[in-house]
Structure 1
Amino acid sequence: MTVGILLICHNDIGAQLIETATDMLERLPTRLEHIDVRQDDDPIDLLNAARRRVADLDGGEGVLVMTDMYGSTPSNIAHRLRDQHQVQVISGVNLPMLVRALNYPRLPLAEMTAKACSGGRDGIIQEGASEGS
């Protein structure tokens, strides 16, 4: 069994991240889906869709939900998923974060979440910055 991953992001950010990760890895080692959040979408409809997706993705190991921006509609929806399922939520998804999570498909949910967070942080580099600044 592996942890499922759900991206809840504005517009097609989640779809594009998944497409790019798939191109890089050639094969996805875990169940991975996305929900696009558009300006005129009803948040209740989105929450219901997210609940269904989490239920589909959870094979017993839980689901890691990644959103693009903390405090936004995708983040608020993800936050509400934590009440019903074994779900961990990370906001601020980037490609290194997603790829790192996909590289550790057999880790338990809490460990995969930690790996994803470190991948996201490690993938942010200020070029030309001196060491330690």
Structure 2
Amino acid sequence: MVGILLMTHAPLGSAFIQAAAHVFRGKPERIEAIDVIADQNTEEVNQLAHAAVERLNDGSGVLVMTDIMGGTPSNCCRQLGEPDQVAIIAGISLPMLLRAITYRQDDLDVVVEMALAGGQNGAVRIDNRVRLSPN
């Protein structure tokens, strides 16, 4: 099963895991969050990330999801392991995470594609201008 690591600005990663636990009625297994705090030492973040990837990888790989490209969490993801064992996506959303969890029995490339599709399809406009008649 593909492991999932959320590397985000605090407290987003933990909040996403709590939301996923609500949806799935329990915390999914093999998922962790590293919530990076302001001015946290990047070497410390790198060490935490490497240790988390080692814990989460059962040989199926690890999907690392981060909040924003170019921020400290995403910058600390770049050297986390072999490309065939660690995939990184920036721009996490709840639909993206739920899709990743749902498809994580597949191989890492499929999980990445499903997560990206969840993120793209999960962002929609809800048109509240159309009113239904009361009859």
Q: TM > 0.5 between the two?
A: yes
- Corresponding residue SS for 1:80: coil
Matching residue of 1:105 = 104
Matching residue of 1:52 = 51
Larger radius of gyration: 2
Matching residue of 1:8 = 7
Alignment of 1:82-101 (within 5 A): 82-83=81-82, 86-101=85-100
Percent identity reads: 39
Matching residue of 1:22 = 21
Q: What TM-score do the two structures reach when normalised by structure 2?
A: 0.89
CA apart distance, 1:66:
0.1
Amino acid at match of 1:56: R
Indicate whether 1:34 and 2:33 are aligned: yes
Bigger shift: 119-128 or 105-114?
119-128
- In angstroms, what is the RMSD of aligned CA positions? 1.7
Matching residue of 1:125 = 124
Residue segments in structure 1 that go unaligned for 5+ positions in a row: 129-133
Give the Cα–Cα distance (whole angstroms) in 1 for the partners of residues 27 and 101 of structure 2.
Answer: 7
How many residue pairs align between the two structures?
A: 128
CA apart distance, 1:105:
2.2
User: After the TM superposition, which parts of structure 1 deviate over 4 Å for at least 4 consecutive aligned residues?
Assistant: none
Does structure 1 conserve the Cα–Cα contact (< 8 Å) formed by 2:21 and 2:28?
no
